[in-house]
Structure 1
């Protein structure tokens, strides 16, 4: 079970950035767990698509995420940072969500300042709550955790409608409120990433790399040089899987079952049959 939160928190102090790929279900998490990452990232986008068959548009609930987090953390060794959208409500709901995620085994929680219902951070039209309300929510989340090593990732979506300066100021105030990691969603140029790093020097910054999203894809070394020490790829594997699924289903529909794939024995190993035999 994912328990080594202290190690991950100490890892944030190192210069080498943490790379956290997105996982979204049991199979993706099991495979990622063997790949020697410092952390994994459970995105609301991925869970909404894989669990609910719906887009990342406010359909997820805290119960949905609790189920997925606890299921994954029962088998994972790698620390899991889990998306919590808006905290699924106001301050009372956010406090409850922090408690739920911590008890479920996550190593950290991500909370954003969008209005409800939220939408994916790389889809236009996002609206945010007031700066004061957002800071109050992050302060409440920090105070609610029982384990000081449980990470609070504070995200702002203010860039789109209120500009970069407002997003940076929110990040600064989230950090002052006790957030461990600051996530300014979807900067729209390399220069904006650089401006964030310069303005928030000394703060642990998260960069979200989404191919085809609103932000440019930047090299890890470049992001690290700018000051970003936590880099996530929330949908990269899911997008690759979707391409493979489209191809495989089309081939099966055409009567072709010869496409390259893992063997049944390998697949059974990946889903955990070998470990289950030991119990």
Structure 2
């Protein structure tokens, strides 16, 4: 293929039935597109079909408008919810942080090292602690303190920043504030949280201390979409580490920070590479 070829990601969700893959593949072939990767899954429980296609565009598929016009008959036939993504566009991820900087530092380093292909237009915090490291990277830092009386105003300022920077995603990099129900609904499907526990166990505050008190042998971290139900959103990615009786709760906290950083960055990457599909209260995630 020419180096000037336009690369797209096509994501599709629809009722599961016969002929979806054949129809999409034939359409792309007929239009001169070159498919480089195709992933699919039909869920026998929800009866939903999920598909992710990476392709080099043909002569007549180089714009959204051209693709929409030509693809519409197939989309209508299968009642598809679909979207075309420019593979080379870096999604904008607005990050939020409080006083714990490990997840934030990890993301900043991965972006600066070109290992995570996103753009960070701004970082919001309810504390000043992370300003120095953020401004060292040349990223705008917004201190938006929050209290019970100012929560609504603070959250509106946050939404204003999301709109101003046209953020595609909000990442809660250990942002230690519970978002309001209204804000959760406003950001539904485009806000990821890292929870320092292997959900659904040990929800809420101090999960490592809860785990230590129960004598667990595995601890972990969970990245999930934020919903109005605290720590109940669809899970995107998880990881665990083995622990034993000799470790203190503080030991588990230290181990957990490494797990959190990796899980959070991978969840951000999966979302921004359009690999995550909502499936009721769960997700379908196509691996790299």
TM-score (norm 1): 0.30
Q: Which has the higher contact order (CA 8 A, sep 6+)?
A: 1
Q: Which has the larger radius of gyration?
A: 2
Q: Which has the higher strand share?
A: 2
